[in-house]
Structure 1
Amino acid sequence: MKIDERHLIQLAAVVKTGGVTEGAALLGLAQPAVSRTLSMLEMRLGEPLFIKGRRPLQPTSLGLSLAEQGLVMLAASRKASDLVESFRVGKSGVVRVGGTPFFMDALIAGLCAEFQVTHPDVRIDQSYGYFPDLRAALKADQIDLAICPIDILDEGSGLEFQQILPGRNVIACRVTHPLLLKRRPQPSQLLDYPWVAPPPGSPLLADLRALLLSFGATEIKIRYSGGSLMSVINYLKAADALTVMPHSVVFALRKEKSITALPLTIPHPERALAILTRADSARSPAVDQFAQHIRSGFESLRHLIKRHEEAVVWGR
């Protein structure tokens, strides 16, 4: 015998609350409709569901067993409704974000943790890549958004971008580097030291080569290359090597007091850190909530980074 699940849920509500009126109110139904459901169910079963004359209503053994099944369904229905509502307001779901390694490790990972304090049911799947790979992943619907530095976005690319931080590079070194003893180190003096190359594919690698050529280098002393942000930091801490980093990354490491920037303004391409999304793609509310959190986080950081830049790079 097949029993309508809705009938079991209504029976469970009545047993749970001890009355038809109360059970109907729990489900948001009219009391006469629930009474009719219980009567129809008893007629179909050929057995009573409640002991006659008992108030509050007391279920028979069959009524109680069926109500227990209905309670499971009622709980599942309530959970499903909560999940739908949570998804609609961006409190649950999955956010697939890709980004360039240095920015993701130094800045975005912390913002992800902050986001999940208020959105604990949102899962964040993070991946690494540079602009060409991230653009391809967006178009293939493998990620929902990308956070990366870009120079210019071609019209007709099918992507939208929102700038979250102006780009500026600095020369990073350990806090005890000999060049920091000089009030204003000269570009030619930088060529006396070895350099750490950013990871292959990073736009910083092209920036480093262009920078050293502008200093008059005929040979680039690359001592270490291919490392992650953490390995580059640990290398710099133990050597008098130099490297090119976004100032915002150096800013994010300021509390460790191990890496800093040389007080030297250097040329670099016009570039901005941006959030990239597909123009034709409908995003889930959780993705929009996450993007807004990233924008707000960088809005707060922008002024602090600017002050740090003025103090460290120009104000020594």
Structure 2
Amino acid sequence: MDFNLRHLRIFADVVSTGSITQAAGRIGLSQPAVTQAIGRLEAQVGTALLDRAHRQALPTAAGAVFAARSARALALFDEAAALAGPRLSRTATTAQLSAFVALVKAGRSTDAARSLGIAQPTLHRAAAAIQKEATRPLFERTSRGLVPTRLGSILARAVRLAYAEMEQARMEVGETEEKDVGAIAVGAMPLSRAFALPVAVARFRARRPSMTVRIVDGPYAELLDGLEAGVLDFLVGALRDPLPSPYVEQEALFSDDLVVVCGAAHPLAGRSTVSPDDIRPFPFVVAVKETPTRRHFDRLIADGAPWRPGLVETGSTIFMREIMSHSEHLGCVSRRQAEAETRHGGVHILPLRLPETERVIGLTTRRGWHPTRSQAELLSEFRRAASV
């Protein structure tokens, strides 16, 4: 985040009083200093935030949405900062907090400094300034480097969420002028990448061709961490039971089950009937551990299904498709994901029922998250595509 925290607080005071003069008196600054702070914020967002007519300073349409978002950002930071130390919320600078978050993420000062493009001594001074104001340790040193304490993790998460709110502020300011600003980041699990999400993004982009949509894949734990930290806006894919985190909420959209698939040249391709005994001789390529698909597959093996040991594990549908085209491997994937692959040819769904493999597919969002208009439109398109 490149917004100055002090400038955000000054802007909040001006909005609450409706006067630059009154705000200056309340916070003990000169009127020119307040005016300069507001001017810098307006330069950063590229539009006027205040209407200064009639000796008042009232927020413009852009200023109103910016004020609401910046208030959410400051509240998130202030609540966590109060746990760390009574003065931290007022003394910490954006540069210091950026260094602190980078150190929490990297664990090594060399990596953290490199990620910010600053020298290590600069990073150390910034992180030390944050720790100085804290009443309890924010880091502990281990053989693996610096590890944040629970308080350090809480503070870092709050800072990252505050940053995310300010990115949403940029988007909403642009929306007041019918401009597409920023990017929407979606954490996508395998099924959603093959079904519903491509259709949703295509429809969304037809209306908003200037808006960037970033599709991020990876292990579920990494996607969940990204969502909780505000790096990702929402997740689409298989829901978890129980709820994986107190910081998120889930919305069920449809159910799906698992099927066995094979390549076009496989001996079982085109068969009208397939029994468990028929698949006994063949190796499998399956999802990685700790995924709903893999847990179902492992349960079927434990229940005595006749799949032989020795598996190829992958999170890539492309790899699964290609290895099946060059071997007699069978795959185990979601039905809708398999149907998407069959439309491209080369993949066959075997007529074999896998009992009790139904999974709930839907959306995962941060608890208390307020989407921008464009984010809400993409969510709406995904719900629409998923309902087919």
AA aligned to 1:128 is D
Q: CA RMSD in A?
A: 2.9
Q: How do residues 170-249 of structure 1 correspond to structure 2 at under 5 angstroms? A: 170-217=259-306, 219-222=308-311, 224-226=312-314, 228-249=316-337
1:90 and 1:289 in contact (8 A); partners too: no
The one of 85, 100, 104 equivalent to 2:193 is: 104
2:346 counterpart of 1:258: yes
1:149 and 1:271 in contact (8 A); partners too: yes
Aligned to 2:380: 292
In the aligned structure 2, how far is the partner of 1:218 from the partner of 1:185? Answer: 14
In the aligned structure 1, how far is the partner of 2:233 from the partner of 2:265? Answer: 42
Aligned to 2:184: 95
- TM-superposed CA distance for 1:235, in Å, is 1.2
Count of residues in Structure 1 that have an aligned counterpart in Structure 2: 219
Percent identity for Structure 1 against Structure 2: 17
1:87 and 1:93 in contact (8 A); partners too: no
In the aligned structure 2, how far is the partner of 1:126 from the partner of 1:149? Answer: 16
Aligned to 2:226: 137
Residues 67-109 of structure 1, C-alpha deviations (whole Å, 9 max, x = no match): xxxxxxxxxxxxxxx9846358795542111121353255524
Q: Which moved further from structure 2: 260-269 or 187-196?
A: 260-269
In the aligned structure 2, how far is the partner of 1:151 from the partner of 1:92? Answer: 32
Q: Which moved further from structure 2: 243-252 or 175-184?
A: 175-184
AA aligned to 2:371 is R
Residue segments in structure 1 that go unaligned for 5+ positions in a row: 1-81, 301-316
- TM-superposed CA distance for 1:211, in Å, is 2.1
1:89 and 1:285 in contact (8 A); partners too: no
3-state SS of 1:121 partner:
coil
2:215 counterpart of 1:150: no
3-state SS of 1:253 partner:
helix
In the aligned structure 1, how far is the partner of 2:199 from the partner of 2:205? Answer: 10
Q: How do residues 121-136 of structure 1 correspond to structure 2 at under 5 angstroms? A: 121-136=210-225
CA separation of 1:283 and 1:260: change in aligned 2, threshold 3 A: same
What TM-score do you get using the length of structure 2 for normalisation?
0.50
AA aligned to 2:373 is P
Q: How do residues 259-278 of structure 1 correspond to structure 2 at under 5 angstroms? A: 259-278=347-366
In the aligned structure 2, how far is the partner of 1:270 from the partner of 1:152? Answer: 13
CA separation of 1:253 and 1:87: change in aligned 2, threshold 3 A: farther
In the aligned structure 1, how far is the partner of 2:297 from the partner of 2:249? Answer: 28
| Structure of higher RCO (CA pairs closer than 8 Å, 6+ residues apart) | 1
Q: Which moved further from structure 2: 208-217 or 234-243?
A: 208-217
AA aligned to 2:328 is D
3-state SS of 1:179 partner:
coil
2:184 and 2:375 in contact (8 A); partners too: yes
What TM-score do you get using the length of structure 1 for normalisation?
0.61
CA separation of 1:159 and 1:110: change in aligned 2, threshold 3 A: same
CA separation of 1:181 and 1:260: change in aligned 2, threshold 3 A: closer
3-state SS of 1:239 partner:
coil
- TM-superposed CA distance for 1:179, in Å, is 2.1
Aligned to 1:160: 249
In the aligned structure 2, how far is the partner of 1:121 from the partner of 1:98? Answer: 20
CA separation of 1:102 and 1:274: change in aligned 2, threshold 3 A: closer
Residue segments in structure 2 that go unaligned for 5+ positions in a row: 1-170
AA aligned to 1:170 is V
Aligned to 2:111: none
2:196 counterpart of 1:114: no
In the aligned structure 2, how far is the partner of 1:220 from the partner of 1:96? Answer: 38
In the aligned structure 2, how far is the partner of 1:122 from the partner of 1:90? Answer: 9
Aligned to 2:115: none
1:161 and 1:275 in contact (8 A); partners too: yes
2:190 and 2:316 in contact (8 A); partners too: yes
2:370 counterpart of 1:282: yes
- TM-superposed CA distance for 1:120, in Å, is 0.9
In the aligned structure 2, how far is the partner of 1:89 from the partner of 1:277? Answer: 25
CA separation of 1:134 and 1:156: change in aligned 2, threshold 3 A: closer
Residues 189-242 of structure 1, C-alpha deviations (whole Å, 9 max, x = no match): 2111111122344322222222233344484132x3336211111111222211
In the aligned structure 1, how far is the partner of 2:243 from the partner of 2:197? Answer: 25
